[in-house]
Structure 1
Amino acid sequence: MSHHITRAVTQDEIAAYKQAGVVLLKGILSLESVNSLRRSIDLTVNKLDDSPSGYDFTKVLKATAANDVDQLRAMSDGQYDLEAIMDYVKSTGKPLLADEDSEARQGAYFIDTGVAARLDSYRQLCTHGALPEIAGELLQSGTVRFFGDQVFVKEPNTPGKTAFHQDATYFEIEGEQCCVMWVPADPVTLETGAMMYVRGSHRDGTLYKPNVFISQAPLPGSEGVDLPDIENNLDDYDIVHFDVEPGDVLVHHYRTIHGTGGNQSRYQVRRAASIRYCGDDIRFKERPWAPAQLHHTGRLNTGDPLSGTDFPVVWERAPSDAVAASAAPGAALGQLAGSQAA
């Protein structure tokens, strides 16, 4: 299956990505790519119990609230020791995050990591065609390497929020040229859990402590600046969100702070993939607290360029394009029109 880009990335979109740290690329994926993504996500959810990195966060929230140690222990044989993490979260006094009236809503919040390593059709989407080409244009890099992926599903009536966070300190890398693509398989609005971004939060280089996604509590042993309480002070920040449709792609810099609410819709599921790419300047950086990547086959040392089968080159700039890119003038900020204050 081929995954061709449906239109070129514009200079205004490149400028918006650089300045705001996030850009919406409307209608840039083909229907073929969207349908492939939907099939991949549905298959991933159906096989979630077979994945060492797959979790139903709604079950985690419920087990923690009920102090169901046996259930947490049963879910702790994969990527995370959930029993230990939830004990730690309780010790911090930080609440678990959920929308209001969560008791009345029972939808599930699924997440899985490293799906591309197990599912060939999904890996094809991640490593060939449109998405790597988009990364090459936005990163302005000579080469692009695939860095990783996650799949997120929030069913209708799912109260679980995703805490505001910064991807950079979950990733064992350093440098500037890393982008994260949020690719929806369904229409997404604020009601169903649209992504919210703190515009320009990538620019000063601050690295914030990573949290446990369903709470503001930082990961045990993590380093960085404490992230402020954005959830309860949205008006104090320059927050933008975008209503998106299948075929759209949201792309943010890996230091851009972002988060989401639950899915308050009664009927609309919210399926999406987070796919990550790195450019030439990225180097490996060991972070002992970073979530284990159980699908990786090797290990790099701090300072090493990305290499090997875990981080394949998925796009290379033609020599003539490289000359043109270096000579291209700056463009006015665009593509932020139509974004809405959250």
Structure 2
Amino acid sequence: MPNHITRAVTQDEIAAYKQAGVVLLKGILSLDTVNSLRRSIDHVVNTLDDSPSGYDFTKILRATARNDFDQLRAMSDGQYDLEAIMDYVKSTGKPLLADDNSDAREGAYFIDTGIAAKLNSYRELCVKGALPEIAGQLLRSETVRFFGDQVFVKEPNTPGKTAFHQDATYFEIEGEQCCVMWVPADPVTLENGAMMYVRGSHRDGTLYKPNVFISQAPLPGSEGADLPDIENNLDDYDIVHFDVEPGDLLVHHYRTIHGTGGNQSRYQVRRAASIRYCGDDIRFKERPWAPQQLHHTYRLNTGDPLSGPDFPVVWERHAPELMPGAMAAEAATGQLSGTRAA
């Protein structure tokens, strides 16, 4: 199986995830896995115009800045009513977020959702092998269910930032056992848009209003605490970022606050997938403001455990045959060993 784990998750890494709300797992994914991810992301970009959940956030930024509501209306036939949302953003007085000198920068910021529901090779990556096994180790759950996915691409010279936010209130779930895996397909540094996390921000249980990603303005009708202005006060927070290489994996708790800058590099694209997994204690929680999941096949009720084809079981602790190679053998002997992440 090409989608395999290259080493075990260590006890120190499990502890870091629990305490900091984020952990870097160095060199844990195989080259075959990374290459499969790259091919999938490139397919997503090449077919973005055909996806009802695919967007170029750079175009949205520029159309909003120009008050070009005709263009926003033309892009509003899918997951979001962009005309209404960006009109609301304007009414809040919250600025659009972009790096300095953005007028001369032409790179695109692409996003698409629900790739696993429409691209078989990408679904294999999500539901078999390395990623579900890693989720099982970090969540300390008896079972792991696939929850969802997105793809993010920031081309070189992309001005658009991703506002600091908390995933939990975009998701229609509640509980503790949900992790988000950020899987890079390219080398990533602060220059081209490294992920930045507020360490420990998951621990007090606070739920914050979700925002529109390219502004701190909250989604219309959303509930929760107001997220502070982290972008303009970085020194006031315990923020950590990670330079990563293909084969590395970042995993954060779904309440951990995080964001990114634009891609200020001249040549290096930043391609990555965000893949989400849930453990035993997660229950469905209706949030009317949450982004529509157009690929879902049916609707759960608040309080229901996750179930059905939208949320398949992808790993079970007492099923070694689901585990790849060396990890299955180590699980059978109750041992975990490996290289500590830097």
TM-score by shorter chain over 0.5: yes
TM-score, length basis structure 2: 0.94
What is the SS of the residue equivalent to 1:273?
strand
For 1:224-243, list aligned pairs within 5 A.
Answer: 224-243=224-243
Q: Which residue of 1 aligns with 2:197?
A: 197
Quote the offset at 1:319 in angstroms.
Answer: 7.0
Q: Distance in 1 between matches of 2:268 and 2:93?
A: 33
State the distance in 2 between where 1:65 and 1:93 align. 12
For residues 21-59 of structure 1, give each alpha carbon's deviation from its aligned partner in whole angstroms, at most 9, with x where no partner exists: 000000000000000000000000000000000000000
Does residue 263 (structure 1) correspond to residue 263 (structure 2)? The answer is yes
Per-residue deviation, 1:70: 1.1
Q: For 1:307 and 1:175, locate their aligned partners in 2 and report how far apart those are by CA, in whole Å.
A: 15
Whole-angstrom distance in 2 between the partners of 1:53 and 1:191: 28
Rounded Cα–Cα distance in structure 2 between residues aligned with 1:70 and 1:88: 15
Q: Deviations over 1:260-289 (max 9, x none)?
A: 000000000000000000000000000000
Which residue in the other structure is 1:60 paired with?
60
Letter in 1 for 2:142: G
Task: Answer whether contact 2:2 2:30 (CA < 8 A) is retained.
Answer: no
Instruction: Measure, in 1, the Cα distance between the counterparts of 2:221 and 2:43.
Output: 34
State the match for 2:127 in structure 1. Answer: 127
- Once the two structures are superposed, what CA deviation does each residue of 1:108-160 show, in whole Å capped at 9, x if it has no partner? 00000001100000000000000000000000100000000000000000000
Instruction: Find the counterpart in structure 1 of residue 32 from structure 2.
Output: 32
- Quote the residue 1:299 is aligned against: 299
Maintained 8 Å contact 1:173/1:282: yes
Q: Deviations over 1:236-272 (max 9, x none)?
A: 0000000000000000000000000000000000000
Letter of the 1:217 partner, please give it: A
Question: How many equivalent residue pairs?
Answer: 329
Name the Cα RMSD after superposition.
1.7
Alpha-carbon deviation of 1:66? 1.0
Q: Secondary structure at the match of 1:2?
A: coil
CA distance in 2, matches of 1:219, 1:301: 22
In 1, the alpha carbon distance for the partners of 2:192 and 2:61 equals: 19
Equivalent residue, structure 1, for 2:286: 286
Q: Distance in 1 between matches of 2:319 and 2:241?
A: 36
What secondary structure is seen at the aligned counterpart in 2 of 1:297? coil
Amino acid at match of 1:194: A
Q: 1:67: Cα distance to partner? A: 1.0
Cα distance in 2 for partners of 1:265, 1:130 equals 31
Check whether the contact 1:2–1:128 (CA below 8 A) recurs between aligned residues: no
Q: Which residue of 2 aligns with 1:187?
A: 187
- Residue in structure 2 matched with residue 115 of structure 1 by the alignment: 115
Q: Distance in 2 between matches of 1:131 and 1:300?
A: 25
Give, in whole Å, the separation in 1 of the partners of 2:317 and 2:282.
17
- Which residue pairs with 1:311 in the alignment? 311
Deviation of 1:2 (Å): 3.4
Aligned with 1:84: secondary structure? helix
Whole-Å separation in 2 of the counterparts to 1:302 and 1:14:
30
- The answer on whether the counterparts of 2:28 and 2:249 sit within 8 Å (CA) in structure 1 is yes
SS in 2 for 1:40: helix
Partner amino acid, structure 2, of 1:41: I
1:77 and 2:77 aligned:
yes
In structure 1, distance between residues paired with 2:259 and 2:243? 14
In structure 2, what is the Cα distance between the partners aligned to 1:199 and 1:65? 33
Which residue identity lines up with residue 207 of structure 2 in the other structure?
L
Instruction: Give structure 1 stretches of 5+ with no counterpart.
Output: 329-333
Check conservation: 2:64, 2:72, Cα contact below 8 A.
yes
Letter in 1 for 2:310: D
The sequence identity of aligned pairs, in percent, is 88
What is the CA deviation profile of residues 188-233 of structure 1, one whole-angstrom value per residue up to 9, with x for unaligned ones? 0000000000000000000000000000000000000000000000
Q: Is the 8 A contact 1:109 1:153 kept in 2?
A: yes
Amino acid at match of 1:189: T
Partners of 2:282 and 2:130 in 1: how far apart?
A: 21
Q: Which residue type is aligned with residue 54 of structure 1?
A: G
Find the residue that maps to 1:180 and give its secondary structure.
Answer: strand
CA contact (8 A) 1:182 1:251 kept: yes
Which portions of structure 1, spanning 4 or more consecutive aligned residues, are displaced by more than 3 angstroms? none
Return 5+ residue gaps in structure 2 as ranges: 321-326, 335-339
